[in-house]
Amino acid sequence: MAAYENVTDWTCRHCVGEADGTRFLAQVDLPHSSVRCYVAVSDRLRTLILAFTGSNLDNLRTFLTDLDIRASPWPPEAPAAWVHAGFLASTLDGAPSILVALRMHTAAYPDYEIAITGHSLGAAQAVLFTTYLVAREPTWAARLQVYTYGEPRVGNVAFAQYYTSLRVLTHRAVNRGDVVPHVPFQAWGFHHHGVEVWIRQGDGQVVVCPGTEHTACSMSLPATQWSVLDHFNYWGAVSYSRPNNFAWNIPVEQPGVVQTIRLPHNNGGTWPSTTLTH
């Protein structure tokens, strides 16, 4: 995963060559904090990249962040919204420093898109920082693209609706039975934002589900099919963060044709299907 590794070390089929021309610009790594990210630039894609790391197997603080599931009212622009207290506190710890770094490099690349990404805890932080960012740089919203992987639920329905109202292009990828996107539970008031991109159980087809909590995507799986291993294997890249920040990439994918199925919204409407060869 981009948020854990040196992109020059990638070996998975979909990764090799895609990072060509990507250069590291800055890292934000605050002491006594569970937020860690870096800024990079791809001249080939004309894109600045802000990538957040996820929960670290060797960093207790990240797991304490995950466990603090109290509801924190936020953002102030959405009075009915609340979010996961641990995710919010960790994001706000680093947000001012991240914003300074991003403003500096955005000034150097004024016509580049800005892609914000993260895996696991980093996915939640990516969404919360995007919300923070748009409130301070509203003219950037049209330049932003958010891609999350294995994202847990971040807040309640009101937050999901508010985030959607920002009109930031967002795709939330879920790999097969990845357990993390199913927590914290809906019964506790948590609710996903859209759009979900589900790597379907069994055949590996990619299903795009608009809206929130679409019952034809990962929500269609019973709890008996949720998997921790699926959380660490997205499109053939298996990542485990280690004490020295080295992560293994193990290509496990199979070649073939992936049918991308775009499902209708829960309230109707249809999207066309496309076929991708890899």
Q: Which of 120, 218, 239, 241 is catalytic?
A: 120
Tokens, residue 67? 């466990």
Q: Which of 42, 231, 239, 241 is catalytic?
A: 231
Angle between helices 85-108 and 121-136 (to 10 degrees): 60
Cα→Cα distances 210→46, 147, 231, 264, 275, Å: 27, 14, 21, 7, 18
DSSP 8-state symbol, 191: B
Rounded to whole angstroms, how far apart are CA atoms 197 and 128? 19
- Dihedral angle sign, alpha carbons of residues 250, 254, 258, 263: negative
Active site residue 178: yes
Q: On the CB side of 28, how many CA atoms lie within 13 Å of its CA? A: 25
Helix (H) or strand (E) holding 86: helix 85-108
Active site residue 120: yes
Active site residue 9: no
Q: Which of 178, 182, 193, 230 is catalytic?
A: 178
Rounded to whole angstroms, how far apart are CA atoms 68 and 54? 15
List residues with catalytic annotation.
120, 178, 231
